[in-house]
Amino acid sequence: MRRFATAEYAAARLLLPAALLPHVVAAVAFMHETDDRIDRGTPGERAAALVEWDGLVRKAFAGGDAGLPVLRCLVRTAGRHPDVRAHAEEFLRGCAREVEWRTIADDEELERYVREYSLPALMLTACLLAPGEASEREAFTDGCHRLIRAMQRFDFLEDLPEDVRAGRPGVPADAVARHGADLTRPSAALGRLVEEQVGRAAADLTAAGPLADVVDPVHRPFVRALVGVQRLRLDAVRRAGPALAARTSGPSAPAAGALLLREAVARGRG
């Protein structure tokens, strides 16, 4: 977590209840172990890796051999928080979408990708923060959906050079065609494409803002910080604009630090 999401990791360490932190880390570790295993090789090799990994996970949950630390931790977390197992199984089903896709045709296909893969991945950890009331859970899940849809949209922009080299750009192809953008080089057309995608992500991120209102008060500083860090990521993508063809972007470290400090102070007062 420290390596791939420094600001989010710092938010978890500073703002989550200490007893919950190991379970959040276990869920995130499982998600990324899965992603690493299915993200290498040809489509056939990736599909085979998913089948093998799915079998290992099912065996671990069934009480068989859980020799890998990441699976031992996941099973222990699911024992304390039973919703984790259901979300892990849904996430593994959604991994078929991650293995198969080569391009995202349009926003409708992006929505299917988010619903089948990205949202289950987020819910592995988000379920640990979910409110107890059924009516609030519905609002919570809707907020998580909007949050991860925004994050996925600018994830694809942040990772543009790497994804283009891999032959799997995630920016919707119809938007690329509409702007006449070349994803391999900075240009005014690419700048317009980035601005359009940023605008759509920003609308979802704004709609996800009330997430903090439906979780338990003890979790609110972390949820506010998480959404705030995503706003910083989005701002960085907007500033980079067409330069994203050649480099990635990330949240401002001083701004992220100031955000976390404010929420840490608020938590202390709460």
pLDDT (tens, 9 = 90+) of the chain, 270 residues, equals 777 778 788 888 999 999 999 999 999 999 999 999 998 888 889 999 999 999 999 999 998 667 899 999 999 999 999 999 999 999 999 999 899 888 899 999 999 999 999 999 999 999 999 998 888 899 999 999 999 999 999 999 999 999 999 888 999 999 999 999 999 999 999 999 999 999 999 999 999 988 999 999 999 999 999 999 999 999 999 999 999 999 989 888 899 999 999 999 988 776
144: tokens are 């998580």
The dihedral over CA atoms of 178, 95, 164, 42, expressed in degrees to the nearest 10, equals: -130
252: tokens are 């401002």
22: tokens are 């190991």
CA–CA dist 236, 242 (Å, integer):
12
Neighbours of 184 (CB within 10 A): 14
State the residue for tokens 């202390």.
Answer: 268
- pTM here is 0.92
* Confidence (pLDDT) at 64: 61
| φ, ψ at 196 (rounded to 5°) | -65, -50
The Cα-based distances of 81 to 74, 116, 197, 259 in angstroms read: 10, 22, 36, 29
CA–CA dist 22, 235 (Å, integer):
30
Q: List, as one string, the DSSP characters of 131-160.
A: -SSHHHHHHHHHHHHHHHHHHHHHHHHHTH
* Confidence (pLDDT) at 65: 62
Do the Cβ atoms of 24 and 249 come closer than 8 Å?
Answer: no
**Residue-range domains of the chain with CATH:** 6-269 (1.10.600.10)
* Confidence (pLDDT) at 2: 75
CA–CA dist 186, 184 (Å, integer):
7
CA–CA dist 88, 120 (Å, integer):
8
The Cα-based distances of 146 to 175, 186, 226 in angstroms read: 20, 29, 13
Q: What is the CA radius of gyration of the chain?
A: 19
**Which contacts of 127-136 are long-range, i.e. CB under 8 A and separated by 24 or more positions?**
127/81, 127/83, 127/84, 127/87, 128/20, 128/23, 128/24, 128/27, 128/81, 128/83, 128/84, 129/215, 129/216, 129/219, 129/222, 129/223, 130/83, 130/215, 131/214, 131/215, 131/216, 136/214
* Confidence (pLDDT) at 178: 97
* Confidence (pLDDT) at 132: 84
